[in-house]
Chains A and B, each alone.
Chain A
Amino acid sequence: MSGNSSSAKSLTSDRTPSHTRRPLQKVPSPKKQKRRKSQAFQEAVTGYFFLAPALILLGVFLLYPMGAAFYYSFTDFYILKPDDISWIGLENFTYILQDAEFRQAFWNTVYFSVIVVPVQLAVALVLALLINKKIRFRVFFRTAFFSPVVMSLVVVSILWTFMYNPNEGLINQLLGLVGIQPQPFLTSPDQAMNSIIVMSVWQGAGFQMMIFLSGLQNIPNHLYEAADIDGASSWQKFLHVTLPGLKNIALFIFITISIAAFKLLVQPMIMTQGGPLGSTKSLVYHIYETGFNYRDVGYASAMAVVFTVIVLVITIVQRVLVREERG
């Protein structure tokens, strides 16, 4: 695609009639200079005309709230008393350090991310490799693995809550068929987060499988042919041709899943309300409750600022790693 565009560009510059270009290379006459200036001015006006609506909307509904969150985090802003805001310095931030609920929510979120990210990446890769083999009914299998993506997170969360029902749920019934005792799943502090993790991997893996598949198809066939000539085994081909060919796409998926995992909210909100015993309360959920249920905007904003910084750090660290890997 990019090759296309550069050829198009060179075409257009070649097409500029030479008689108009040549005088410009000499010192242009004042009249022509003026015309050029007004042309540039016109282009700037048109450019801003096209860009302005987007910039204004981004400014009002994204950049301003960001600034506001930062400002609120140093205040005791309480929704029911909007006219009585006072500056309290770093008090909200020092409170975060003592807030046991915040600490629990933070470690819950870390636990969720540290497990979901590698597992989902691995499952997606295995699915993509299976689909990429010469198999019959490929479209059927691909559609099957992708089908959970079609359901929204809300739908999936409600569906699995019923499936996880300890007394009458489908999963315990299926486990019973193969002789496994009924499990408490979402009702147990030990199993609730793991149950959410299983469901999340199930829902998301098919999506990343699709991206892996497009990566696999971009690996040139002659590399495999060359490996065949060298007598490489299929494991060697996987290790030395497939994996290096997928590196960039795997890193891209790694970054997106990590950030998405750290934003965990819908699953615990619908399935467990953060329980039992706070074992599934996530960081964003804690921020939501503090802000919307307890109306403590100041403290919730301080936590939101900390959350943003964490996400930024994850993004930057991963970007740097990617660049080093590439360089």
Chain B
Amino acid sequence: MKRKKQMQTVVLYTSLILLTFIFLFPLIWMLVSSLKNEFQIFKDMKSLQAFLPPAPSEVEGGYFQNYIAAFQRVDLLRYIINSLIYTTGIIVFGLVVNSMAGYALARFRFPLAGFWLGVIIATLIIPPESIFLPLYVLVYDLGWVNTYTGLIVPFIANAFAMFLFRQFFLDFPKELEEAAKIDGCSQIGIFFRIIVPLSKPVFATVAIVLFINHWNDFLWPLVVASDESMRTIQIGLQYFMNEPPIKWGQVMAALTIATVPMLLIFTFLQRYYVQGLTHTGSKN
């Protein structure tokens, strides 16, 4: 009996370690290869040395030469700034517009309120991929191609975010708002001065969901930001893969750079992200 249990433990931990290797080895290889020169990358790949960082004696010209070369070859900094402008724009305007809409749907009684809620939920089913072409024609006609406006404005309104805000505000106690009303505070004042400061968790969740979705965006920036100076990081990465000479170390350095912001978000704010997703998961 005891031996059977020991066997089970051994099997359990062996499979856990094997799975850990399967899920981690590409990431580790990417990180350590970004620190090596081309010759060393190919030499190390023949053994498990592929997953170990280079020994200090083998590094000529510093660990970060691939990173420096990557920044010199294309305007990576510009791509990162573009990505940050794009995501920050969507987050800032998105938080205001969607929280207001969520509040309206949670609190006020007005004609067609139920109808609009239905429309907003229905738009969740529309695959964004199916409207990109006419959306591009529209943005083109507005003269917004290769502008931040064209990148940001179409994605400010977000049905999913409105839905999250509405769920949160439905659970929000009404007494505070009523007390403020008696004190003569206007509805707009109540919302921005009382509701918003007390709703930090839902704002954090929506902000993180929006950041992750749009930092990783590919199709829309690809078609709207065709100009090199407007490229986002996800589009810029392809340069290292397609334009010769293809240097594996530089590719890995560029991929690592594109991953750092996501890594920071998940390390410090994962709780909010998972909260938001499981919240909707269980409610649906």
A residues near B (Cβ < 8 Å) are 1-2, 4-5, 8-9, 11-12, 15, 40, 43-44, 46-51, 53-55, 57-58, 60-66, 68-69, 72, 79, 82, 127, 130, 133, 135, 140-141, 144-156, 158-163, 168, 170, 173, 177, 202, 206, 210-211, 214-215, 218, 248-249, 252-253, 259, 263, 265-266, 270, 284, 287-288, 291-292, 297, 300-301, 304-305, 307-308, 311-312, 315
Chain A contacts for B45, CB-based, 8 A: 168, 170, 173
**Which residues of B71-99 have CB atoms within 8 Å of chain A's CB atoms?**
96-98
B residues near A (Cβ < 8 Å) are 12-13, 15-16, 19-20, 22-24, 26-27, 29-30, 42, 45-48, 50, 96-98, 100-101, 103-105, 107-111, 113, 116, 119-120, 123, 125-127, 129-138, 153-157, 159, 162, 170-175, 178, 187-188, 191, 215-216, 218-219, 223, 234, 237-238, 240-241, 248, 251-252, 255, 258-259, 262-263, 266, 274, 277-278, 281-282, 284
Q: Per a CB cutoff under 8 Å, which of A161, A177, A300 touches B133?
A: A300
Q: Which residue of B has the minimal Cβ distance to A308? A: B130
CB distance from B185 to the nearest CB of A (A): 13
Instruction: Give the A-B contact count at a CB cut-off of 8 A.
Output: 260
B116 in contact with A152 (CB, 8 Å): no
Cα(A48)–Cα(B42), bound, Å: 63
Q: Which residue of A has the minimal Cβ distance to B22? A: A202
A152 in contact with B234 (CB, 8 Å): yes
A65 in contact with B100 (CB, 8 Å): no
Interface of chain A, main secondary structure: helix
CB distance from B135 to the nearest CB of A (A): 4
| Residues A65 and B274 in contact in the complex (CB < 8 Å), given A46-B187, A158-B251, A252-B281 | no
| Residues A145 and B131 in contact in the complex (CB < 8 Å), given A12-B175, A54-B97 | no
CB distance from A45 to the nearest CB of B (A): 8
Q: Per a CB cutoff under 8 Å, which of A2, A44, A163 touches B29?
A: A163
Q: Per a CB cutoff under 8 Å, which of B12, B30, B120 touches A58?
A: B120
B130 in contact with A69 (CB, 8 Å): yes
